[in-house]
A and B are shown apart, each in its own frame.
Chain A
Amino acid sequence: MDRRPILRRRALPALLLAALLAACSGGDDEAGGAGETGAAGETGATDGGETAAATGPITIWYSNNEQEIAWGEAVVEAWNAEHPDEQVTAQEIPAGQSSEEVITASITAGNTPCLIYNTAPAAVPQFQRQGGLVALNEFEGGTEYVNERVGEDRVGQYMSPDGNLYQMPWKTNPSMIFYNKALFEEAGLDPEDPPLSTYSEFLETSQTLVDEGGARAAIWPSPASQFFQSWFDFYPLFIANSGGQQLVEDGEPQFASEAGMEVAEFWAQMYERGLSPREEAQGDSFAEGQAAMSIVGPWAVAVYSDVDWGVVPVPTPDGMPLEETYTFSDNKSVGLYSSCENRGTAWEFLKFSTSEENDGLLLQETGQMPMRVDLTETYADYFEANPEYETFADQAARTVEVPNVANSIEMWQEFRDAWSESVIFGEAEPEAALTEAAETISGLVGE
């Protein structure tokens, strides 16, 4: 049987259907969907009108780790007991490949909760572009509250290019070098004062750990190519070496500098000498004693309670005391989302959950540092009772965030690809690869 006529007969309606569907789906940008709630502007919702004052029940999402759930439940219970007409319903963020993916889908569907605890600052520019976030400075006293809690000098890092603040910097996990004292001792190194301050000391110590100790790796950052992995190898060391620079400042990439190249050369040596494996670790390399060191925040204290650990600042070429060292903040923020109807309640609950008392509870439950000025003075009793957190608290005063720029995630992916190719796998010269990435990124953030 000749097929061509059948194909033609079938292809025509299929093409017509496709054209019809394409036509039907067109024009939504002109008309706009039927917004359930307040208007969302092109660069995020800055509606400070009726919805900003509306009160009533709200829903929030928090992360799914055990300690944060305990904190969230306690805070919600305390609020609900006092606010019968403004009840808060809390749930864990729905499962997905990543929180950012879930939130992106939720913004598009218009069903985000009022508040999401654990909004990544790197994703804020994208959520803002989607019209998913509400500017906190639009609330009465909003700017003053955030400045007072976080510190005016630090808030600047979280401001969006349009001059609005779409996130409440909530908690920080300043990146430091965590080390396993037993493995250091086994390798004949002083576990109380290990030579890890300069790059040459760090390399030598790492070599000793692998040669003489029982560890397979000195330090094992993930070599995977996801965009965020550079926050846990390159970025803390770059921030320290550059005296607190962001990856991009004033639209210009900063990493193709001498400071950035020194960091790249340092890591390239770690990989080349086999001190950091090019393979992904199976399981938790630090907990299982496969790696003697790890770049972590204070969350690690509770997680590695079985390990006899020590903590030092990230290394720099010539060494730097803790009180002068800057590092990556690994901050998570709270976002107030534009599909929220009762924004008045959401704002009040946001203030309640980030009050001195509830920040103290967060510290107590999770060991993570609230993004708050005078942390060590405010919670002096806690740090006296838990001295293991004090070094992290000290470091928390000098943290640097990812830059709040357009195409933020695309920028980090571009950087990561160049880093993988040159520093991890040695298939290109770090200087050439990072310089080329800087040129591409310059175009991306300028869009």
Chain B
Amino acid sequence: MKEWPLWEVFIRSQHGLAHKHVGSLHAPDAAMAINNARDVYTRRNEGVSIWVVKAADITASSPGDKEPLFEPANSKVYRHPTFFPTPDEVKHM
């Protein structure tokens, strides 16, 4: 099965708002990747929705770019709205 492409699997859980990455698997095409994801990742009633994406179609940032990409944000404390109290009614923040 070495020729089967790798797929990344995202699952939205019962109460979750967004699909979360849960892992990866091999499958010949998208339909079978969904079936396989169901069998490999939702055996304990984890999900209500599955997304699969070909791993090759994901463009990732390179670990070496960590400093130029993320470092500047650290010194700009005013970008972090930590001084505003959040009302109790607002959930999922």
Is B truly associated with A? Answer: no
Chain A residues within CB distance 8 Å of chain B: none
B positions within 8 Å CB-CB of A: none
